[in-house]
Structure 1
Amino acid sequence: MKPLYAPLGQLRHAVATMTAAACASAFCALSSPALADVPAMLDPNLQVTTLINSGITQPIGIVFLGTVNDYLVLEKASGQVKRVIGGVLQAGVVLDLPVNSNSERGLLSMALHPNFPGTPYAYIRWTESSTGADSTAVSDVSLLGNRLDRFIWNGLSFSLDRNLIRLRARQTDNVAVPGHPGTNNANEAANHNGGVVRFGPDGKIYLFMGDQGRRGWMQNLANGPFLTAPQVDDTFGGPAPDNAHLSGVILRLNEDGTTPADNPFFAAGAAIGGEVGANIQKLYSYGHRNGFGMAFDPRSGALWETENADDAYAELNRVVPGMNGGWIQFAGPSSRVSDWKLIESTQFASALQQVRYPPTRAAYGSAAALSRLFMLPGAVYKDPELSWRYEIGPSGAAFVAGNALGPEYDGSLWIGSARSFDQVGGNGGSLYRLRLTADRLHVDVSADPRLADRVADNLFRAQKFDGTESETLRIGTGFGTTPDIQQGPDGNLYVVSITQNAIYRIGR
C-alpha cells in the first residue's frame, strides 16, 4: 500500500477537488471529519464518547500525565504538544517543534520515562524541517532528518535535553544511481518513517523505523537492489546499514540512547565494527516494512507490532529478539509467498514502491524465499500471528489490562485503521479487538474457523480494505484514521483520530 494515512478532505466534494500533487500521500487531513465517519461500537455493552474535538489539528498521539484529567495531545503537522486539564484545552503549548510534515513525516510519537515525573524525561520521535520552521515541502529535510530526542519536563513545558539518534528522512530515489541508468523512481518520497516509540517492561526504549524505501541488508537484500555493480542501495551508498540505511527495523536503546549489551546482535555488530557494526548492535529486529502500532502485552511482556502491506499481506507480529520479519523477500506467512508475489506483480500497479526492485524478482516458492533471507548470526524468522491477504491497514495498537471495559476484554489487543471509511470505504475507520491464546503466544482464532490458517482471506477491492473474515475481530466503526490507541489511567481506551481531529473514549 503506497502510502498509508492517505489524504482526507473536509467533505466528499472537497476530496474530489484536491489535486494528486497536493495530496498524493499520507496525513494530508484537513480540518473537518468526513461524513461517513461517525464512531460507534458494535458491542452494546461499550460506548464511545468524544473527549475533545476542537482546538486540535491532526492529532497523532495522546500521553497521560499521571491522571485521566491531565494529558498531552501531539499534533503531527504543527509540531506542537498541547495540554488538556480537566477537559479544558490550555492556552499556549508545552512544546513546538519545527517539523516537516510531508506525507508520513512530522511529530510522530512520545513516550514518558517509566518513572515520570520523578525522572522528568519525555522521548519524542519527529521529523525536523531543514528550514527551521514548519514545512510541507518534500525536500525540506536533511538526509538524517528523523530524530529521537529526550526532553525535560518542568511541570509546564518541555526543553531539549539531548538527541539520542538520527535516522533517514530524505528519499531521493528519483535521482539515478551512478552506473544504473533508468532505475530511479519518478518523484522524491516522504513516507515509511515508522515513528512509534515505547518503553518496554525492561526499561528499554523500543523505536520502530520504517524501511524508507531502502533495499539493503535490513530488507533482506545482501547485495542491494541492483543485479550489476556497483552494488549499492541508492545515491548515498548501502546496502549495509550505515546511518543512512538503518531502516525497516525496531531498535532497542538504553534511556540515554546508548546500546544495551544484551541486544540480540550485539556480538555480531562488534565483530563487524565501524558505523555499520554499531548500528547492528542497536537492532532488536529487522526485515520490517512500515508500521504505526507497537504495544507490550502487560501479562507476558512480549512486544506486538502492526505492519502494513504494500498491497498484499498486512501483518500482526509478536516480535521476538533477533527476529527477521522477511520483508522484502515476502510479506505474510512464508507458505503464502506465491500468492503474495502473484498479487504484487499483477495488481495495483505491480510495484513495491521502489521500481529498482520489482516484485517480479521475488521467489516463486517458500523454500526459495526463505533461503534468500539475509540472516545475521542468531537471527530467526517467524510467521506473523495474523495476516490479511489484501491490505486492511492495521494502525495504532494497545492492550487492555483489567476489567474497566468488562472482564471479557481483559488482556485483549485493540488495533485501529490507517485510513478512514470516507477514504477507502470497506473497513476503513474500523477498530479491531483480538484475543490471545492462554499462553499469550498467538491470536485466538477459535471464534472463526476461517481464520484457522491465521490469514484473513479478504476479497479484492480497488481501494482494498475489504473486511471479509474479519467480522469476528471488528469491534468499532467510523473512527477515521487512528494512529494511536492508549489505555488511560481509568482503564478506558482512548482513540486518536487524525482525520476527525478528535480523541474518543471507549468505556463500559
Structure 2
Amino acid sequence: MAAPFAAADSIPVQMLDPNLQVTTFIGVGAGLVQPIGIAFIGQNDAFILEKASGQIKRAIDGVIQPTPVLDLAVNSASERGLLSVALHPNFPATPLVYVRWTESSTGADTAVISEVPLLGNRVDRFIWNGSTLTMDPNFTTLRLRARQTDNVPVPNHPGTANPGENGNHNGGPMRFGPDGKLYVFTGDLGRRSRMQNLPNGPFLTAPLVDDTFGGPAPDSAHLSGVVMRLNDDGTTPASNPFFGAGAAIGGEVGTGIQKVFSYGHRNGFGMAFDPRGGFLWLTENADDAFSELNRVIPGMNGGWIQMMGPQSRMAQFKQIETTEFGSALQQRRFPPTRLAYTASLARSRMYMLPGATYVDPQFSWRYEVGPSGTAFIRDNSLGAEYAGTLWIGSSRPFAPTGPTGGSLYRLRLTSDRLSVDTSADARLADKVADNLTKFDPTESESLLIGRGFGVTPSIEQGPDGNLYVVSITDGVVYRISRATATLRRK
C-alpha cells in the first residue's frame, strides 16, 4: 500500500438512520495526525493513539493535552506503527495499559520499510501514574514478525521473489475477554507457512521452507495469522486449546503454538467480544474474494490460505482469485492457481493441529469490502433497537474505492448470539452478500448505517454510551449519539 492514509474522505460524513446523529468529538485542527485508536480512561477522558508519531495523547473533554503520555520510536511504513491499546480489566485500580506497536530499528520514528527488526511487532505493558505511561519490566513482551523481505529470492526457488519489501498484514487489534485474558490478533504477515494451512510451506520442491528466514514450522518468525490468548502478565494460559500440542512439539515452535487460540486467518483490523454472548468476533479482509466476519471458537482453523468464505463458495473463491484483479494472492510464493477446486479437497490440504476445527465464517461479502474497526453496543444508550448490535468500519475511504468505502455497517445477531440475523433481507439468507465487484454495496443496503467516515481503524463505545469512531484519514474522532427531536423532524 503506497502512502497509506494520506487524505480525508471525499464525501461528507452522514448517518443513514434518522434516529442517530454524528458530531465531532475531536476535530480537524485539534492536533491529531493519523489517529488510529481510542481508549477511555474515564468520563470525557481518553487516550488517543497516533499511528506514525508513536505517540499516545490524552484528550480531556475533547481537548488534546499538550504533552503526550507516551512516545515510542515506531516504524510506520505501510500498515505498521502504533496500532492499538488495551486497558487492564480492573483499570484504573490496576493501572496497566497494553500497547501494540512496530519498533523502529533506528531509535527514531521512521517510514523506511527496511528499518525494522525481524521481530519488530511488539506487545508491551505500561504503568499509568495519572500523567505518563512507563514500561513495565514485569511483563513478558510479545514479539512478532515485522520484516518482510520476500523480494529476496529463496535459494533454489528462482522466480518466486516479490517486487519489493512489504510491511503489511500486521493485524493489530487487542481485547481483554470476559475471562480476563488478553487476546491479540496478528495477520498473516505475508507468511505462507503452517499457520496459513500449508503444512510443507509454499514450495513444491526442496528446500521446503517459507522464506529466507526459514519456516514453515511456526517459530517466532513464522507465527502469524493467529489470535493469541495470554495471561495479563504476558505468560501463556494452560487452558489454551493447543497448550498440550505445543508441549508435545517443544522448543520455540511449541512455545508459540501454546499461545494460539485460533489460526488460519488472513488479516483484519476488527475484533470485539459480544457483551451478551461472550464470544469473540473477528473481521477478515479478503485479497479480492470473500471478506469475512467470524465468530471465533477455541481451536478454530479459519481456512486461509486454502479457503476464504463459506465452503459452499469454494469454486467462486478460486474463480475470482485466478481470473480477476491481477490473478494473485499478494505473495507470489503461492499462486492462486494452486487452490483446490472443491471444498473437500481444500479441507484435506489444511494443517490441522490436534483438536483443531475448521469453521465457516458467520457472514461474508463475495468481493472485498474492507471491514475494519469493530465494536458491540453494550446497552440501550443509543436506543433499545441498537443494544447488542455489532458495528464495523471501513479500511478504505470513499476515494478512491467508492460505494462502500468509508462506510459504517450495523449487524444484528440472532437471539442465541451465535450468528448474524439476516432476516431483514431475504437475499442474505445464505449469509453472503453477493456484491458485484470490490466495494460494491449490492446486498449490503440493510447493513449500511453511515458513510463518509474514511478509514476507521477503531470504534469504541464511551462511558457516556455514545459511539466514538476514529478516522485516520480525516484526522478526526467522530461521536455518534441519539438524534435530538429537532434533527429527526428534518
Q: TM-score range by the shorter chain?
A: over 0.9
- Correspondence 1:366 to 2:365: no
Equivalent in the alignment of 1:105: 80
Please tell me whether the aligned partners of residues 61 and 108 of structure 1 are also in contact (alpha carbons under 8 angstroms). yes
Question: What do residues 435-488 of structure 1 show as CA deviations (whole Å, max 9, x unaligned)?
Answer: 00000000000000100110000002xxx2000000000001111100000011
1:143 aligns with 2:121: no
Tell me which residue corresponds to 1:96: 71
Which amino acid in the other structure matches residue 342 of structure 1? Q
Is 2:23 aligned against 1:59? no
Distance 2:156 2:228 in 1: 33
Matches within 5 A, 1:347-386: 347-386=324-363
Q: d(CA) in 2 for partners of 1:435 and 1:117?
A: 32
RMSD over aligned Cα, in angstroms? 0.9
Letter in 2 for 1:40: Q
1:401 is the counterpart of 2:401? no
Instruction: Please point out which of 262, 268, 277 is paired with 1:300.
Output: 277
Code of the residue aligned with 2:96 in structure 1: it is: Y
The answer on 1:115 being equivalent to 2:115 is no
Instruction: Compute the TM-score of the two structures, normalised by the length of structure 1.
Output: 0.93
Match of 1:156 in 2: 131
Describe how 1:236-255 pairs up with structure 2 within 5 A.
236-255=213-232
User: Conserved in 1, the CA contact under 8 Å of 2:5 and 2:455?
Assistant: no
Please list, as runs of the form range in 1=range in 2, the aligned pairs for 1:272-311 lying within 5 A after superposition: 272-311=249-288
CA contact (8 A) 1:334 1:370 kept: no
**1:466 corresponds to which of 396, 418, 440:** 440
- Are residue 443 (structure 1) and residue 400 (structure 2) matched? no
Question: 2:42 is paired with a residue of what secondary structure?
Answer: coil
Q: Do residues 87 (structure 1) and 72 (structure 2) align?
A: no
Deviation at 1:35, TM superposition (A): 3.1
Query: Whole-Å Cα distance in 1 between the matches of residues 425 and 255 of structure 2?
Result: 45
SS at match of 1:246: coil
Q: How many angstroms does 1:72 deviate by?
A: 1.0
The residue aligned with 2:208 is: 231
Following TM superposition, by how much is the alpha carbon of 1:402 offset from its aligned partner in structure 2, in angstroms? 1.0
Q: Which position in structure 1 is the counterpart of 2:465? A: 491
Q: Distance in 2 between matches of 1:433 and 1:356?
A: 37
Distance 1:247 1:311 in 2: 20
Task: Evaluate the alpha carbon distance shift between residue 28 and residue 433 of structure 1 in structure 2; reply closer, same or farther with a 3 A threshold.
Answer: closer
Unpaired runs of at least 5, structure 1: 4-23
User: For the residues of structure 2 that align with 1:88 and 1:363, how far apart are their CA atoms?
Assistant: 54
- Measure how far apart 1:310 and its partner are: 0.3
SS of residue in 1 equivalent to 2:122: strand
How far off is 1:334 after superposition?
1.1
Which SS does the other structure have where 2:436 is aligned?
Answer: coil
Structure 2 CA distance for aligned equivalents of residues 445 and 75 of structure 1: 36
Residue among 178, 190, 211 paired with 1:213: 190
8 Å contact from structure 1 (residues 28, 103) kept in 2:
no
Corresponding letter in the other structure for 1:63? A
What is the SS of the residue equivalent to 1:506? strand
d(CA) in 2 for partners of 1:87, 1:116: 21
Whole-Å Cα distance in 1 between the matches of residues 303 and 162 of structure 2?
Answer: 23
Contact 2:393-2:456 at 8 Å conserved across structures = yes
Q: 1:12 corresponds to which residue? A: none
1:313 match = 290
Checking the alignment, whether the CA contact within 8 Å between 2:172 and 2:185 is kept in structure 1 is yes
Indicate which of 455, 460, 468 corresponds to 1:481: 455
Aligned residue in 2 for 1:166: 143
Aligned residues: 478
Deviation at 1:279, TM superposition (A): 0.5
SS in 2 for 1:466: coil
Q: Distance in 2 between matches of 1:88 and 1:458?
A: 41
The one-character-per-residue Cα deviations of 1:338-372 (angstroms, maximum 9, x if unpaired) are 11001001111111011110000000011111111
2:253 is paired with a residue whose SS is helix
Structure 1 Cα separation of the partners of residues 9 and 345 of structure 2? 45
What is the Cα deviation at residue 63 of structure 1?
0.7
Alignment-mate amino acid for residue 375 of structure 2: A
Question: What is aligned with 1:201?
Answer: 178
CA distance in 2 between counterparts of 1:366 and 1:89 reads 51
Unaligned runs of 5+ in 2: 483-490
Deviation sequence 1:307-356 (CA, Å, 0-9, x none): 00000000000000000000000100011111100100111111101111
Residue type of the partner of 2:226? V
- Return the alpha-carbon distance in structure 2 between the equivalents of residues 71 and 428 of structure 1: 27
1:234: how far off?
0.3
CA-CA distance at 1:303 after TM superposition: 0.0
- What does residue 264 of structure 1 align with? 241
- Distance in 2, Cα, partners of 1:433 & 1:28: 24
**Residues 28 and 482 from structure 1, CA distance in 2 versus in 1: closer, same or farther, beyond 3 angstroms?**
closer
Q: Secondary structure at the match of 1:342?
A: helix
Q: Which amino acid aligns with 1:407?
A: A
Of 321, 336, 340, which aligns to 2:313?
336
The CA deviation at 1:300 is 1.2
The one-letter code of the counterpart of 2:402 is G
Aligned residue number for residue 73 of structure 1: 48
What SS class does the counterpart of residue 326 from structure 2 fall into? helix
How far, CA to CA, are the matches of 1:45 and 1:29 in structure 2?
A: 32
Equivalent in the alignment of 1:502? 476
Determine the structure 1 residue equivalent to 2:488: none
Matched-pair contact (CA < 8 Å) for 2:9–2:452: no
List 4+ stretches of structure 1 deviating above 6 A: none
1:95 CA displacement: 0.4
Secondary structure in 2 matching 1:360: helix
Letter in 2 for 1:115: N
- Distance in 2 of aligned mates of 1:497 and 1:151: 25
Counterpart of 2:21 (choices 47, 54, 62) is 47
Residue 391 of structure 1 is matched in structure 2 by 368
CA contact (8 A) 2:10 2:452 kept: no
Distance, in Å, in 1 between the alignment partners of 2:193 and 2:65 is 46
Contact 1:394–1:416 (8 Å) recurs in 2: yes
Alpha-carbon distance in 2 for matches of 1:93, 1:239: 41
Give the whole-Å Cα distance in 1 for the aligned partners of 2:55 and 2:157: 42
| Match of residue 397 from structure 2 | 420
Partners of 1:87 and 1:180 in 2: how far apart? 55
| Alignment partners' CA distance in 1, 2:89 and 2:77 | 31
